[in-house]
Amino acid sequence: MLVSAKEMMKKAKDGKYAAGQFNINNLEWTKAVLLTAEECKSPVILGVSEGAGKYMAGYGTVVGMVNGMLKELKISVPVALHLDHGSYNGALACIEAGFSSVMYDGSHEPIEQNVANTTRLVEICAKKGLSLEAEVGSIGGEEDGVVGMGECADPDECKRIADLGVTMLAAGIGNIHGKYPDNWPGLSFETLQAVKDKVGDDMPLVLHGGTGIPDDMIKKAISLGVAKINVNTECQWAFQKATREYIEAGKDLSGKGFDPRKLLAPGFEAIKATVRGKMELFGSVGKS
Ligand code: 13P
């Protein structure tokens, strides 16, 4: 059964590790993440962007697929199904469809609008026992057409949003989705510390853009209160590389021709290896 991310976040904060959010894009992705979480005895958050939700034939399809896998694959670790960077209406649609957790990303709205929408969602999620992630200071890079600037969040604005009663808070600390540019100055731990000082020790912080952040920075971020780390691009790279190598080796071009079960198997294994590596780095292995 899907669970909200509330307990996961509390345990991760107390235990000084982070739960991984791995974005899913299709059946193979979802199965790879769930099986790896089970093998690692790790809690896990499945992230679904609005674009990925549309691609997978709608939120209802995603809920059906994930619930089906939890049962058929006998997944016993805690799993949250979470909307990633949702709009207000997207969050409502996911709640309606049966997600156990949503992110409302109001970081590109004026702060008053972000506060108003987050306030409404706090109420709705509280009634249904769901977890809610909010964002302040947009994350750089491009996600479903939304381009952030890699801002550092204003700690006072973080406090305003955190005090509304959200479960977890994504604060921009110079992080970027996708590949980091060569001249990237690194995460702003100064900002992270300032945000933590304002929102208090109990608020789990979320680090987006988990691809390509050096391991020592990940560990330092966790030590400063990050309890959830999002990874998407690295799984995409791993999937793409493994699939390309398989095709280039000509293995799928003989015999019966296109067989998705064969063609997608190397990518599936590559995602599993990527997810396992991240769970080890985040310290969530054995924490289910
Ligand atoms: P990456 O694509 O950089 O791993 O970031 C994922 C993310 O933050 C999703 O919200």
Q: Output the pLDDT for position 151.
A: 82
Q: Output the pLDDT for position 120.
A: 98
Atom of ligand 1 nearest to the CA of 207: 8
Helix, strand, coil percentages for the chain (3-state, nearest 5) = 50, 20, 35
Active site residues: 84
The residue ranges of every structural domain in the chain are 6-282
Kindly report the protein residue whose alpha carbon is nearest to atom 9 of ligand 1: 230
Q: Measured in angstroms, how far is the CA atom of residue 36 from the centroid of ligand 1? A: 19
Ligand 1 residue neighbourhood (C-beta within 6 Å): 23, 47, 84-85, 177-178, 208-211, 230-234
The number of C-alpha atoms within 13 Å of 121 and in the hemisphere containing its C-beta is: 34
* Beta bridge partners of residue 228, listed in sequence order: 19, 206
CB atoms closer than 10 angstroms to residue 201: 8
* pLDDT per 10-residue tile (average), the chain, 288 residues: 97 97 98 98 98 98 98 98 98 98 94 96 98 88 59 94 98 91 90 97 96 96 97 97 90 67 94 98 97
Q: Are strands 141-143 and 146-148 parallel, antiparallel or unpaired?
A: antiparallel
153 neighbors 136 (Cβ within 8 angstroms)? yes
Top mutation candidate among 184, 233, 278 for ligand 1, by most atoms within 8 Å of CB:
233
Q: Measured in angstroms, how far is the CA atom of residue 209 from the centroid of ligand 1? A: 4
Atom of ligand 1 nearest to the CA of 85: 10
Kindly report the protein residue whose alpha carbon is nearest to atom 5 of ligand 1: 209
Atom of ligand 1 nearest to the CA of 235: 4
Q: Measured in angstroms, how far is the CA atom of residue 86 from the centroid of ligand 1? A: 14
153 neighbors 134 (Cβ within 8 angstroms)? no
Q: Look at the block and give the residue holding tokens 């009663």.
A: 165
Q: Output the pLDDT for position 257.
A: 63
Atom of ligand 1 nearest to the CA of 210: 4
Q: Output the pLDDT for position 144.
A: 59
- CATH homologous superfamily, domain 6-282: Aldolase class I (3.20.20.70)
What is the enclosing helix (H) or strand (E) of 148? strand 146-148
Q: Measured in angstroms, how far is the CA atom of residue 278 from the centroid of ligand 1? A: 13
